[in-house]
């Protein structure tokens, strides 16, 4: 981890046994996830947006993109550097218990906090948008399978950079041979 490494705040998690205190696990988890929820504040009201994202360990930033208008764009544009949070998670098997209140699910999640800004420089936006293509279409090649990104296309796309100042990770897992854990989709499909 380098100078851009976020502060680890997993020790503040209520269920300490589920806290992840390994920053490399968090980096790997972020690399594997495809979407998450960006949280912003709009005049005292929460605003949440589900986004595809890329995490850049070298800059310690989460990048998302979207249209150059809309509510999220307005919030960030007005603030200049707005406080933000981002979370991504995955669920595993469900685990029943004798009492429904004790039912649980295997899961893993990361929550990141920091400030978010719009990237302005076309070269910076291109670099991030190319990372999106590498992450979400690694089998395709620019100029062969799809057109190179035009300057007009880059200019009309808003690219956001959330500089992660602190983060926490959490996971709850059961052994693979846990006797009662089940995959919900498999149960539904069997029914």
pLDDT for 16 beyond 70: no
Q: How many domains does the chain have?
A: 1
Q: The domain that contains 16 carries what CATH number?
A: 2.30.110.10
Confirm whether 107 is domain-assigned.
Answer: yes
Tell me: the pLDDT tens digits for 73-112? 899 988 888 999 999 999 999 999 899 998 989 999 999 9
Condensed to tens digits (0 to 9), the pLDDT of residues 19-34 reads: 888 999 999 999 999 9
Q: Is 186 a domain residue?
A: yes
- As a dihedral over the C-alpha atoms of residue 148, residue 151, residue 155, residue 156, rounded to 10 degrees, the angle is -50
pLDDT in tens, 168-187: 999 988 888 888 889 888 88
Residue 2 forms part of a structural domain: no
Q: Which domain holds residue 65?
A: 7-190
Average pLDDT of the chain to the nearest whole number: 90
Asked if residue 1 belongs to a domain, the reply is no
Assigned domain for 148 exists: yes
């Amino acid at each position: 981890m380098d100078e851009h490494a976020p502060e680890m705040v997993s020790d503040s998690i209520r269920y300490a046994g589920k806290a992840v205190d390994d920053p490399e696990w968090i980096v790997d988890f972020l690399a594997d996830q495809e979407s998450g929820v960006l949280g912003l504040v709009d005049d005292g009201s929460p605003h949440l947006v589900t986004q595809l994202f890329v995490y850049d360990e070298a800059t310690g930033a989460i990048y998302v993109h979207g249209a150059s208008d809309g509510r999220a764009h307005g919030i960030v544009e007005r603030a200049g550097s707005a406080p933000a949070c981002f979370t991504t998670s995955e669920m595993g098997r469900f685990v029943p218990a004798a009492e429904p209140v004790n039912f649980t699910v295997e899961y893993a999640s990361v929550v990141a906090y920091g400030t978010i800004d719009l990237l302005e420089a076309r070269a910076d936006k291109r670099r991030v948008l190319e990372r999106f293509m590498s992450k979400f279409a690694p089998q395709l090649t620019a100029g062969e399978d799809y057109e190179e990104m035009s300057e007009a296309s880059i200019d009309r796309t808003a690219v956001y950079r959330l500089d992660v100042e602190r983060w926490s990770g959490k996971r709850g897992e059961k052994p693979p041979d846990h006797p009662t854990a089940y995959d919900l989709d498999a149960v539904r499909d069997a029914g």
